[in-house]
C-alpha cells in the first residue's frame, strides 16, 4: 500500500484526539444546520444547491429523500432541534408523493410538477429500507408502516434468493426485469440488510448481507482486487460496460476505487458482527485490507495531486480524474474501521491524511457542507454532481469512525443516546 501523505502533526486530524472529536462534532452539527431546508411542500427532499437551498431542476429524488431521512433520524437521536419533524417530512414523501400506489414500490423521482421518472431500481429501494429502519429507531409515528412496506417490496421484487444477490431494475409496472445486474445496488442492499438486522434483530438480513459479500470477495480476488461493477443476467462480468459514458453518476466505466473502499468497510462490519471468533473473521478482514490497499494504490495521488480519482481502468490507471466527496467520506470510515479492527497504525495515518485533505480542499468553510466534486487540480466543478445534493456520505464520516464497527450507525447512535440518557 502507498504510504499516507499527511505532513501534519496537527491533533485536529488524528483519530481519537479531543481536537479531532471536536472537529468532527462541529462538522456533524454543521451538516444538520446546512440541510434542514430539504423538505418540499409535496413531501420528500429536494436536491441541495451549494448554499443549501433547493434546486428545482433536479426534481424530488427518492434516494435523496431516503438519505436525508436517515441523516435526520440520527440527528433526532443526537437531540438536534427540529429533527423529528424533518424525519417525518421525509417519511411523508416516501409514503405519499414518491410511492407508486398503483403498482407498488417507489419511483426513482418525480418532478416538482408531478411528472414521474419511469422504472423501479434496487438502488432506490435499498435506500428506502435504510431510511425506514433509521426512522423506526428514531421513533417516527409512521416509520413502521414505511418499513413494512419497504421490506415487503424489496423481498418480492429485488432479492434473488437462488443467487444470493439483488437484481437491479424493473419497469414501472414490475412486469419486466432488465437484464443488467450491478454491484452498486448490491452494495447499498448490503448496507441496508445490516441496518435492518441491527435495528430489528432479524438475522435473516445479516445472512443475506454475507451471501452478497462472499460473491463480491470472489469477484474482486479474481480481478486483482479491482471490483467488477457491471454484470449481465447470468452474472457474467461486463468489464467494458459504459465505455462511452465513463463518468456516469451510478454506473461508471471501469473500476471505482471509492467502491473498493466502501466495500472494505461493509465487509469488515459484516465479519465482526457475524463471527465472534478471530479465525472466522480473518478471511473477510484480509479481503477488506486487500480492497482498501488496491483502491488507495490506484486512486490516491494517482495524477500527482492529492485526492482519490473517481475511476480507473483495469490496470489501475486513472480514467476519470475528478475527486468525488463520497469517496473521501468512505475513506474516513474505512481507514478508521480497519484501524479499530486490526490495530495497524497505517490505517490511523491514512485517516489523518484524509482528514487534512478534507479540511484543505473539500470542506466548504464559507457556505457549509462539503464540495461534492473537484477536478484533478482540486478545483470545484459540477459536471457529475452539481451543488451539494445531500448529506449522507459526509455526515456518516463524522460519526462512523467513533462507533462500534460491528454495528450500523443508526443503531449505534440509538444505543449511544440510550446510554447518555441513563447517565
* Residues tagged active-site: 259, 393
What is the spatial distance between Cα 338 and Cα 56, in angstroms, rounded to a whole number? 40
Cβ neighbourhood burial of 116 (10 Å; 0-12, 13-18, 19+): middle
Cell of residue 32, nine digits: 444538520
Among 99, 204, 212, smallest CA distance to 153 is for 99
Helix (H, G, I), strand (E, B) or coil at 331: helix
Burial 77-109 (b: 16+ CB within 10 A, else e): bbebeebbebbbbbbbbbbebbbeeeeebbbbb
- Give the gyration radius of the chain's Cα atoms: 20
Q: Long-range contacts made by residues 112-116, C-beta under 8 angstroms, separation at least 24?
A: 112/40, 112/42, 112/56, 112/59, 112/60, 116/172
C-alpha cell at 361: 480542499
Asked whether 39 and 61 are in contact (CB, 8 A), the reply is no
Give the angle 76-79-84 at the CA atoms, nearest 5°.
30
3-state SS class at 353: helix
Q: C-alpha grid cell for residue 382?
A: 459540477
DSSP of 185-244: HHHHHHHHHHHHHHHH--THHHHHHHHHHHHHHHHHHTTTT----EE-TT--B-TTTTTT
Q: What is the DSSP letter of 120?
A: E
Number of neighbours of residue 121 by Cβ within 10 angstroms: 24
Rounded distance between C-alpha atoms, residue 250 and residue 185, angstroms:
9
Residue that is written with C-alpha cell 423538505 in the block: 39
Number of other CB atoms surrounding residue 410 within 10 Å: 26
Element (H, E) at 15: none
Amino acid at each position: 500500500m502507498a504510504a499516507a501523505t499527511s505532513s501534519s502533526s496537527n491533533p485536529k486530524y488524528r483519530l481519537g484526539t479531543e481536537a479531532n472529536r471536536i472537529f468532527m462534532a462541529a462538522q456533524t452539527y454543521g451538516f444538520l444546520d446546512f440541510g434542514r431546508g430539504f423538505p418540499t411542500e409535496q413531501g420528500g427532499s429536494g436536491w441541495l444547491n451549494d448554499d443549501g437551498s433547493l434546486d428545482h431542476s433536479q426534481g424530488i429524488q427518492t434516494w435523496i429523500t431516503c438519505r436525508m431521512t436517515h441523516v435526520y433520524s440520527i440527528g433526532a437521536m443526537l437531540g438536534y432541534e427540529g429533527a423529528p419533524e424533518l424525519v417525518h417530512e421525509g417519511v411523508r414523501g416516501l409514503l405519499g408523493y414518491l410511492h407508486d400506489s398503483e403498482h407498488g414500490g417507489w419511483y426513482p423521482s418525480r418532478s416538482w410538477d408531478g411528472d414521474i421518472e419511469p422504472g423501479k431500481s434496487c438502488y432506490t429501494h435499498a435506500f428506502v429500507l435504510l431510511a425506514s429502519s433509521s426512522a423506526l429507531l428514531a421513533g417516527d409515528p409512521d416509520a413502521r408502516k414505511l418499513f413494512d412496506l419497504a421490506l415487503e417490496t424489496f423481498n418480492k421484487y429485488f432479492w434473488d434468493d437462488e443467487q444470493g444477490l439483488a437484481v437491479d431494475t424493473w419497469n414501472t409496472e414490475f412486469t419486466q426485469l432488465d437484464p443488467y445486474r450491478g454491484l452498486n445496488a448490491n452494495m447499498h442492499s448490503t448496507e441496508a440488510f445490516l441496518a435492518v438486522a441491527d435495528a430489528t434483530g432479524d438475522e435473516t438480513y445479516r445472512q443475506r448481507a454475507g451471501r452478497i459479500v462472499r460473491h463480491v470477495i470472489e469477484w474482486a480476488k479474481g480481478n486483482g482486487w479491482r471490483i467488477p461493477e457491471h454484470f449481465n443476467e447470468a452474472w457474467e462480468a461486463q468489464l467494458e460496460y459504459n465505455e462511452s459514458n465513463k463518468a456516469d453518476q451510478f454506473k461508471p466505466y471501469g473500476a471505482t476505487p471509492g467502491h473498493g473502499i466502501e466495500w472494505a468497510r461493509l465487509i469488515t462490519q459484516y465479519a465482526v458482527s457475524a463471527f465472534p471468533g478471530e479465525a472466522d473473521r480473518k478471511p473477510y478482514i484480509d479481503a477488506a485490507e486487500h480492497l482498501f490497499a488496491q483502491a488507495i494504490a490506484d486512486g490516491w495521488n494517482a495524477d500527482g495531486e492529492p485526492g482519490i480519482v473517481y475511476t480507473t481502468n483495469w490496470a489501475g490507471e486513472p480514467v476519470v480524474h475528478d475527486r468525488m466527496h463520497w469517496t473521501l467520506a468512505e475513506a474516513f470510515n474505512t481507514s478508521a474501521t480497519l484501524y479499530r479492527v486490526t490495530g495497524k497504525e497505517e490505517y490511523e495515518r491514512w485517516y489523518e491524511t484524509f482528514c487534512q485533505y478534507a479540511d484543505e480542499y473539500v470542506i466548504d468553510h464559507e457556505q457549509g457542507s462539503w464540495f461534492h466534486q473537484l477536478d484533478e487540480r482540486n478545483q470545484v466543478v459540477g459536471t457529475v454532481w452539481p451543488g451539494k445534493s445531500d448529506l449522507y456520505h459526509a455526515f456518516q464520516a463524522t460519526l462512523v469512525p467513533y462507533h462500534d464497527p460491528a454495528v450500523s450507525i443508526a443503531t449505534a447512535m440509538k444505543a449511544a443516546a440510550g446510554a447518555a440518557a441513563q447517565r
